[in-house]
Chains A and B, each alone.
Chain A
């Protein structure tokens, strides 16, 4: 029956409807990917006509490039800390704001607001807050007798970047809140009637019910966090975003290294090879999380029986 109802639409209409997305995908994703792969096989410097094919040399060089590997490991460590913290904090805030509180709308707005502040403004604000001599963070520490901390250089710069990341978790909180409000109250009530405490209800009813949303947050969070580049550049103690040299080692993430290869060293070919390898790394992590989801994500529909 379903087939019959869809068959009245011609193939042409289908292709016309999907054409904007397909064209966008081809022109803005497939073509740049192919172009970048082609460039990764050259020693193109981004501007001069003096380039030549170098085969897979950029890839072999990358495998021996300790700077790139350190940057990748740093990025994985950063992601391993920032994503679980972001998701957990967003969930925690959502749980807190999913209650009957006075001025609930105001509280939700307050926690959501930082996520709509542009990243540049947010970075400038945190640079001021964390300023060694004039920042409020050190002023507060001074009140309790702690010596000033130089936040924006190693090793503290790493934690400053985590703080900056967590500051924008309002977006995740709203998604979690929507998921929590979709959990049927009767399920939780039934568990309470059966003698379950608050934590058991949360652990065994609420979390499994919203696990598809948590999965979504984790996957998109991992992909976005892997690709972070603007925040470390903005947090660096420099008056120029091009000052990639001023990015501390602890926040010198993989994409910062790529940025440096492209725009400081003018190695567009090598930078493209780095991007292609990174694309595969992100793909591998995404597939890994996808695989693991079978163990911890619960769908209300039986996805297996559809196959």
Chain B
């Protein structure tokens, strides 16, 4: 209409655009600080009586809502901000310098995290603790120790929640009977070659589909640990003395790789070339479509309510591929406290509660893995016949526990990727077993060299 009206409208639009621009910028800038905690800072934890918010990254079926409520009730100054385990998110949080205060992690493979200086040394906390005591820790916790050059000694960088003799077997006796195959011993291990032969006998097919798998080895979960176990059982080594090189062309490694190739080519169980839809053996085993599953003691926790399975399931010792009987844990799941956590004291309180308090007792009684504390071992369940049998086998296996080798310069994930890639080529006959072993050696040594250069 007139000039002043036009200017006014223009000013209004200009002002609006400034507001929008400012809001966008403000939002972006505040987004950069999304992880900042409202609690008081400080290396030792929040002081001054204010509530500390502890960011915890764990699995919600392990650290449950009830556990969190109970912990918060017992520790009124601590609130838990729970994040479900997410490796990508953890990486991003570590990269941005705002890691969680308490993180789920495995003891086996922790050398990489520990050597990179990402975890807090828990030894001073252990020495002062009235709840978690060094002399109560089972040997499995030693895989969380790092002295600057090797695992097994030096400072503790994590505590194991529970663990299993992961190479041990569970089998369905009914399927053995149907195939007229003798049951496995409760105390004496079967050889890997015999195990494969039994697996072939137990496998049945119909109309191009596998009706019953003879043997599952949880291929999608881990290849490094079982192959390393096979090599150790033959008296071989995975790494050289300073953990900077591997040699998979050794006779022991070659035999282990060849076994995996034979296993997949025989089609007795799932592999990455013939995977199960859910990537795990459990549902197939519980549906009585898998005769043997190599899963460890913890597997028994799945069967408590499966009464139909109780009369037919059994646990058997870890199979062997040589003269040395070794029954290791492949993981030893537990927790660690990041070096950049701002609430280490509070995180340690959660560590004490979760590893030695009511949740630990609950876990031990449930049979979901073996406890990592000597004092909790007697609490393992023996109410049901299968639990009693599994208890006996697991107790016997304890004498053959041994830590798996762990180099800080290559992660278990990298190992698994490399092994699977070259195993696939050998299974598909695109490469010989010897060529696959050579390629594994070359690829992993390249990674080890990069890791050495990174960590120093």
Would you call B81 an interface residue if the criterion is a C-beta within 8 Å of the partner chain's C-beta atoms?
no
- Within the complex, the shortest CB–CB distance from B97 to chain A, in Å, comes to 9
A148 touching B414 in the complex, CB below 8 Å, given contacts A16-B21, A23-B28, A24-B24: no
A239 touching B280 in the complex, CB below 8 Å, given contacts A50-B456, A51-B454, A245-B416: yes
In the assembly, what is the distance between CA of A268 and CA of B92, in Å? 11
In the assembly, what is the distance between CA of A16 and CA of B19, in Å? 9
The reply to whether B277 and A133 form a contact with Cβ atoms under 8 Å apart is yes
Interface-located stretch among A213-221, A258-266, A276-284, A288-296: A258-266
Secondary structure class of chain B's binding surface, majority of residues? helix
The reply to whether A245 and B417 form a contact with Cβ atoms under 8 Å apart is yes
Give residues 9-55 of B contacting A (CB, 8 Å).
10, 13-14, 17-18, 20-21, 24-25, 28
A240 touching B417 in the complex, CB below 8 Å, given contacts A16-B18, A153-B274: no
Instruction: Determine which residue in A23, A47, A131, A246 has the highest number of CB atoms from chain B within 10 A of its CB, and name it.
Output: A47
The reply to whether B10 and A246 form a contact with Cβ atoms under 8 Å apart is no
In the assembly, what is the distance between CA of A28 and CA of B27, in Å? 12
The reply to whether A264 and B274 form a contact with Cβ atoms under 8 Å apart is no
The reply to whether A47 and B87 form a contact with Cβ atoms under 8 Å apart is no
How many contacts between A and B, using CB within 8 angstroms?
124
Which of A48, A152, A154 is the one whose CB lies under 8 Å from B116? A48
The reply to whether B413 and A238 form a contact with Cβ atoms under 8 Å apart is no
Give residues 82-107 of B contacting A (CB, 8 Å).
87-88, 91, 94-95
In the assembly, what is the distance between CA of A27 and CA of B24, in Å? 10
A263 touching B91 in the complex, CB below 8 Å, given contacts A16-B21, A27-B25, A50-B456: yes
The reply to whether A16 and B17 form a contact with Cβ atoms under 8 Å apart is yes
Give residues 188-216 of B contacting A (CB, 8 Å).
207-210
The reply to whether A260 and B17 form a contact with Cβ atoms under 8 Å apart is no
- Within the complex, the shortest CB–CB distance from B383 to chain A, in Å, comes to 30
Q: Which residues of B contact A133 (CB under 8 A)?
A: 209-210, 277
Query: How many residues does chain B have at the interface if contact means C-beta atoms less than 8 Å apart?
Result: 46
Which of B14, B209, B447 is the one whose CB lies under 8 Å from A16? B14
- Within the complex, the shortest CB–CB distance from B446 to chain A, in Å, comes to 10
Would you call B396 an interface residue if the criterion is a C-beta within 8 Å of the partner chain's C-beta atoms?
no
The reply to whether B417 and A264 form a contact with Cβ atoms under 8 Å apart is yes
Give residues 1-58 of A contacting B (CB, 8 Å).
8-10, 12-13, 16-17, 19-20, 23-24, 27-28, 43, 45-51
CB-nearest residue of chain A relative to B25?
A: A23
Would you call A243 an interface residue if the criterion is a C-beta within 8 Å of the partner chain's C-beta atoms?
yes
Would you call B272 an interface residue if the criterion is a C-beta within 8 Å of the partner chain's C-beta atoms?
yes
The reply to whether B20 and A20 form a contact with Cβ atoms under 8 Å apart is yes
CB-nearest residue of chain B relative to A149?
A: B208
A245 touching B420 in the complex, CB below 8 Å, given contacts A12-B14, A51-B454, A131-B277: yes
The reply to whether B209 and A148 form a contact with Cβ atoms under 8 Å apart is yes
Would you call B117 an interface residue if the criterion is a C-beta within 8 Å of the partner chain's C-beta atoms?
yes
Would you call B243 an interface residue if the criterion is a C-beta within 8 Å of the partner chain's C-beta atoms?
no
The reply to whether B95 and A46 form a contact with Cβ atoms under 8 Å apart is yes
Would you call B273 an interface residue if the criterion is a C-beta within 8 Å of the partner chain's C-beta atoms?
yes
Q: Which residues of A contact B286 (CB under 8 A)?
A: none
Would you call B411 an interface residue if the criterion is a C-beta within 8 Å of the partner chain's C-beta atoms?
yes
Secondary structure class of chain A's binding surface, majority of residues? loop
Would you call A242 an interface residue if the criterion is a C-beta within 8 Å of the partner chain's C-beta atoms?
yes
Would you call B242 an interface residue if the criterion is a C-beta within 8 Å of the partner chain's C-beta atoms?
no
- Within the complex, the shortest CB–CB distance from A14 to chain B, in Å, comes to 9
The reply to whether A28 and B454 form a contact with Cβ atoms under 8 Å apart is no
- Within the complex, the shortest CB–CB distance from B229 to chain A, in Å, comes to 19
Q: Which residues of B contact A268 (CB under 8 A)?
A: 95
In the assembly, what is the distance between CA of A48 and CA of B99, in Å? 12
The reply to whether A266 and B411 form a contact with Cβ atoms under 8 Å apart is yes
A246 touching B275 in the complex, CB below 8 Å, given contacts A24-B24, A265-B414: yes
Would you call A237 an interface residue if the criterion is a C-beta within 8 Å of the partner chain's C-beta atoms?
yes
Would you call B279 an interface residue if the criterion is a C-beta within 8 Å of the partner chain's C-beta atoms?
yes
In the assembly, what is the distance between CA of A158 and CA of B320, in Å? 39
A153 touching B273 in the complex, CB below 8 Å, given contacts A16-B18, A239-B279: yes
Chain B, residues 155-168, CB within 8 Å of chain A (1/0): the string is: 00000000000000
In the assembly, what is the distance between CA of A219 and CA of B2, in Å? 47
- Within the complex, the shortest CB–CB distance from B76 to chain A, in Å, comes to 33
Q: Which residues of B contact A264 (CB under 8 A)?
A: 411, 413-414, 417
In the assembly, what is the distance between CA of A255 and CA of B28, in Å? 26
The reply to whether B275 and A237 form a contact with Cβ atoms under 8 Å apart is yes
Chain B, residues 267-285, CB within 8 Å of chain A (1/0): the string is: 0000011111111100000
| Listed A/B pairs (15) with beta-carbon separation below 8 Å | A8-B6, A13-B17, A23-B28, A43-B450, A47-B94, A47-B95, A48-B116, A48-B117, A50-B455, A51-B454, A154-B273, A237-B220, A246-B220, A246-B275, A266-B411
Q: Known pairs A245-B416, A264-B411, A265-B411; list 4 more (Cβ under 8 Å).
A: A127-B277, A132-B209, A239-B280, A263-B88
Closest 3 CB pairs of A and B: A19-B21, A47-B94, A237-B275
B positions within 8 Å CB-CB of A: 6, 10, 13-14, 17-18, 20-21, 24-25, 28, 87-88, 91, 94-95, 116-118, 207-210, 220, 272-280, 411, 413-414, 416-417, 420, 424, 447, 450, 453-456
A positions within 8 Å CB-CB of B: 8-10, 12-13, 16-17, 19-20, 23-24, 27-28, 43, 45-51, 127, 131-134, 142, 147-148, 150, 152-154, 237-240, 242-246, 249, 260, 262-268
